[in-house]
Structure 1
Amino acid sequence: MKLPDLEAWAIFARIAATGSFAGAAAELGLSTATVSKAIKRLELRTGERLLHRSARRLSLTETGRLLAVRAALMLEEGEAVEAQAQATSAAPRGRVRLAAPMSFGLRHVAPALPAFMQAYPEISIDLQLDDRVVDIVAGGIDVALRIAELEDSSLVARRLCPVRGLLLAAPAYVASRAMPRRPSDLRDHPCLTYSYLASGRSWRFLDAAGQEASVVARGPLSATNGDALCFALEAGLGIGLLPDFLVWESVAAGRLVPVMPEWRPVATAIHLVTPAGGPRPPRVAVLLDFLAGRFGANAAPWSIG
């Protein structure tokens, strides 16, 4: 019986995750020629084309998309075997792929990482910042920070701290307009919206009695990143709904003020998410504990009022 070409499948999994031969080669410390030869071996063995290749673009074939998920699981299991073999090591070592939303990652995760890396000098971090929800299994992600109320899935989630949404505007905007008293009044105001909000353009609120109301927010600017909305908000272009970790300093400085305080936006939370199954490598376990310590319920520095 011929053994499977495990190295080539691992290379294919990294190509599928990075979207390029060069990206996979850089991550794996291989030449692009070695990566290309591995794919040729797989396509010869399977009798199927796995990738569409052109001078400017690389994409998975239908067969490639199906096999990429299995290849990612194969690579994850291989890494877990090595991690278990190293579990008795005195110091955790190796690379951890960490995914986080862009604004939260830049403002809070990136500033925290130097302390972690000084404490664990044999661990390297591959920090991937993207506001889109990534498939952590197919992408080979070890740990993902997600800001949402998570649906049931096969992933393992650890809740850290709540995230409050704040409805805000610049003082100059508040002084120039009659402010909304209830969610339906927001239809008369320009609203600045975050494109990746889980509920789409629907903003949900609760009053003091727990009554829920929602409104479809519309306005002159939507963005895939919350920081982009902060500039427009502070310039007085309208009303925005943004998370406390993003705007707490602007509120404290008076550059933004609360709107419609009798109604509070429905809260969410920060979670640490990891793939299910298999032993957790020590390098991943210590990073999880570090992030939980930094962003746990009693540690978040941005809590307002």
Structure 2
Amino acid sequence: MRLPDLEAWAIFAAVVEHRSFSAAADGIGLSKATVSKAVSRLEAQLGQSLFHRTSRRLALTEAGRPLADHAQRIVAEARAAEEAARDAASSPAGTVRLAVPMSFGVANVAPLIARFLTLHPGVQIDLHLSDARVDIVAEGFDVALRIGDLADSSLRARRLCEIATHIVAAPAYLHAAGEPRHAAELARHRLMRYANITGPWRLHGPDDAEVTVRPEGPLAANSGDALIPALIAGLGIAALPGFIVGPHLASGALVAILPEWTPPPVGLHLLTPPSPLRPQRVEALIAFLSRHLRDPCTQPAAVLQPGHLADTADA
């Protein structure tokens, strides 16, 4: 049986990463001729061109694009295997790249990272905070936390817990516009949209009733925190996760409405690249986050007590 040309695959991955033969040669410490010959050898074995080559530009062919992903995974798995062998006799050490949603990351993950680093002084965390969905494999992340439904993919996913979503407004808005007593009444209100909660609001109520409301109003944002000032100013109603609205409900700046009508909870997932081979430092962080992020998804009951208009008026 003919063995795969793993060296050629690794060199191909380096050319894709560096976007040139010369830069790849410098990056991996080989001559440009060696790099070029390895890619040509791989193209001959595959029977198709991997790059469009001109004097000014190097671009992947249609056939080369999916093969570039395979090459990157081959290299990543080889590195993980080497690191796992080295890690077996040592404490976790090295850098872990972690991608986390912005608001949830600041409130729930950053404090945990401080505790993790205290326990594992040999590890460094490269923490990426963004509400945009990152490409974990292409951008080189070891671990990612993602809130919401997951698209089908080759990523390895672990559901950690469910995060409750609450319908909230400021007392000033409810005094001016009236507090809705049934989910169907929301259609007559100014509804702000949190872009990370996709599609219409599907609210489940008493006796298995369900109401679908399409949020239309003065503001939409891909950050739930960005909606808070407009909500407190009395400009509308929003459906937001508990970790965003909890402090504002506790202070009375916002109140929860329609407590008997609940949006479906959203899942918190831990994602990793498809390879099951991971360095010890990555395994240590996965275990730590999995253990400590099962409970913080729910806010204390006192924070999330619904506050009706009559309650705030009597205060």
Distance in 2 between residues matched to 1:269 and 1:258, nearest whole Å: 21
Tell me the equivalent position of 2:173.
173
1:270 is matched with which residue?
268
| Change in CA separation of 1:13 and 1:107 when aligned onto 2, cut-off 3 Å | farther
CA RMSD, Structure 1 to Structure 2 (Å): 3.6
Unpaired stretches in structure 1, ≥5 consecutive residues:
none
Judging changes above 3 Å, is the alpha-carbon distance between structure 1 residues 54 and 163 closer, same or farther for their aligned structure 2 residues? farther
TM-score by length of 2: 0.77
Structure of greater Rg: 2
Residues 191 and 88 of structure 1: is their aligned pair in 2 closer, same or farther, counting only changes over 3 Å?
same
1:228-280 deviation per Cα after TM superposition (whole angstroms, max 9, x unaligned) = 11121111110011100111111111111012222111112212122334333
Match for residue 217 of structure 1?
215
Partner of 1:235: 233
**Match for 2:160: what amino acid?**
L
CA distance in 1, matches of 2:61, 2:234: 48
Question: Are 1:72 and 1:140, in contact at CA under 8 Å, matched by a contact in 2?
Answer: no
2:97 is matched with 97
Does the 8 Å contact 1:98/1:127 carry over to 2?
yes
Residue pairs, 1:99-248, within 5 angstroms: 99-150=99-150, 153-197=153-197, 199-200=198-199, 202-248=200-246
What code does the residue aligned with 1:4 have?
Answer: E
DSSP-derived class of the 1:264 partner: coil
Deviations, residues 119-170 of structure 1 (Å, cap 9, x unaligned):
2122222222232333323333221111124466543322222200010011
CA contact (8 A) 1:50 1:63 kept: no
**Residues 48 and 285 (structure 1 numbering): CA distance in 2 closer, same or farther, change over 3 Å?**
closer
Q: Distance in 1 between matches of 2:56 and 2:243?
A: 42
- Partners of 2:95 and 2:52 in 1: how far apart? 27
Equivalent-residue separation in structure 2 for 1:239 and 1:154 (angstroms): 37
Q: In 2, distance between residues paired with 1:107 and 1:214? A: 30
Provide the residue aligned with 1:4 in structure 2. Answer: 7
- Write the distance in 2 (CA, Å) between the matches of 1:179 and 1:12: 61
Equivalent position amino acid for 1:275 in 2: P
Question: What is aligned with 1:257?
Answer: 255
Contact preservation (8 Å) 2:163, 2:298: no
Equivalence for 1:296: 294
Contact 1:294 1:300 in 2 (8 A): no
* CA distance in 2: counterparts of 1:96 and 1:148, whole angstroms: 23
Distance in 1 (alpha carbons) for counterparts of 2:240 and 2:56: 41
Q: TM-score, normalised by structure 1?
A: 0.80
Tell me by how many angstroms 1:203 deviates: 0.6
Distance 1:169 1:293 in 2: 33
* Superimposed CA distance per residue, residues 182-208 of structure 1 (whole angstroms, 9 cap, x where no aligned partner): 3332221111101232x32x0111113
Q: Which amino acid aligns with 1:119?
A: L
